[in-house]
Amino acid sequence: MPTSPTGRLVYDERLTAPRSWWANAALFGLSLAAVFMPYGLIAALIALAIGTCLAAIYVSAQGTARIRVTGDTLYVLDARIPLSALGQPDVLVGEDARAWRTYNAALRAFMVMRSFIPGAVRVEVLDPDDPTPYLYLSARTPEQLARAIDTRA
């Protein structure tokens, strides 16, 4: 867990995949086993194991993104961003969130998006030496993340 000299952990979220995706991983393994059933029971069991493992690895990889905020730093994936380099956070939901991850998106923006999470926070980067115009962070609780990032509150 990241530590901060000026404070404790304020916000912590792992962008995990929904439970239904795990069921789909199991169904993928079963469907692969059905495809290999004409080749025998052993082939079907091997296909079941391999198919389920591959699908589970994919689903697990979708849940590796983590967002943490301490008293003075934002941790996103491997990035460590001082809160002093960030502007006012904007909470995005619905059409606003979709717009900023599609046709309003800047090519240089730092984006951590998950299609299964509808809410997001957009934060301007104030550092003049950083070419990144803003951060777009998917979040299940975008209001809480925005409060944690906003150092003026």
Note down the domain range covering 101.
85-149
Mean pLDDT (whole number) for 59-75: 88
Averaged pLDDT, 63-81: 89
* Mean pLDDT, all residues of the chain: 89
95 with 138, same domain: the answer is yes
Query: How many domains does the chain contain in total?
Result: 2
Which long-range contacts does 75-80 make (Cβ < 8 Å, 24+ apart)? 75/2, 76/110, 76/112, 76/135, 76/137, 77/112, 79/110, 80/2
Please give the model's pTM, rounded to 2 decimal places: 0.78
pLDDT band at residue 134 using 50, 70 and 90 as cut-offs = very high
| Domain membership flag for residue 24 | yes
Q: Which helix (H) or strand (E) element contains residue 153?
A: none
Share of the chain above pLDDT 70, in %: 93
Q: What is the pLDDT of residue 4?
A: 47
Which pLDDT score, from 0 to 100, does residue 6 have?
A: 55
Q: Read off the pLDDT of each residue in 43-70 and give the average, rounded to a whole number.
A: 92
Q: Are residues 57 and 90 in the same domain?
A: no
